[in-house]
Amino acid sequence: MENQIYLGIDPGFHFTGFSILKLENNKTYLLECNCLQMNSKDTLSKRVGLFYNTFNQKILTYKVTNIVLETSFLGRNAQVFLKLGYLRGVLYLLADQNQINITEFAPTQIKQILTGFGGASKDQVALALKVMFPQLQNVLKNAKSDVSDSLAITLCGVWQNQLKNRLGKIL
């Protein structure tokens, strides 16, 4: 099996958490884990452009093979939900342009996979990540929750792919 590079994204118009993991010989390596900060004073089109340019560059630089997202849900503000749809659309466009697989997980699925409880809090998810990956203590210590959320999302994509590969070998 060739290397797989996963880009997990927790989109937002102020902060977008993202993580890039490499799956090689059944081992997972962290390539980057960070947050894209956008200026709330910039126009919507400027922020969408920055989002596109940033993730297009990440895809090209790391040769991303998989994009992983959390399914969106309608919260209290329909306008925010609608605007997040723009960013998700950008990611679907990038996936199409670069012939990349795109996978989505529901928030409860991610929490269930990482903590064993679909109703876990963001703090519980971050704690589970720190316990599973002690080497990430410094990365996650002062990071915004968007970063740990993106890492959780990315891990779900990696683990799902590993499971599919193992099942494929059995069947």
Query: With contact defined as beta carbons under 8 Å apart, do 59 and 94 qualify?
Result: yes
Is 141 a residue whose pLDDT tops 60? yes
The CATH fold assigned to 4-170 is Nucleotidyltransferase; domain 5 (3.30.420)
Distance CA 32, CA 125 (A): 19
Is 170 a residue whose pLDDT tops 90? no
The helix (run of H) or strand (run of E) holding residue 101 is: strand 101-105
Q: Which of 19, 32, 112 is nearest to 69 (CA)?
A: 19
pLDDT value of residue 100: 96
Is 113 a residue whose pLDDT tops 80? yes
Mean pLDDT (the chain, rounded): 87
Domain-wise residue ranges, the chain: 4-170
Is 151 a residue whose pLDDT tops 80? yes
pLDDT value of residue 124: 87
Banded model confidence at residue 145, pLDDT cuts 50, 70, 90: confident
pLDDT value of residue 168: 63
Task: Name residue 160's amino acid.
Answer: Q
Helical H segments across 28-142, by residue range:
44-62, 78-97, 107-115, 122-132, 137-141
Query: With contact defined as beta carbons under 8 Å apart, do 115 and 125 qualify?
Result: yes
Q: Which of 149, 90, 142 is nearest to 115 (CA)?
A: 149
Say whether pTM exceeds 0.85: yes
Summarised one tens digit per residue, pLDDT across range 61-81 is 999 999 999 887 656 667 776
Instruction: Enumerate the active-site residues.
Output: 10, 70, 146
Summarised one tens digit per residue, pLDDT across range 16-60 is 999 999 999 888 899 999 999 999 999 999 999 999 999 999 999
pLDDT value of residue 127: 84
Banded model confidence at residue 1, pLDDT cuts 50, 70, 90: low
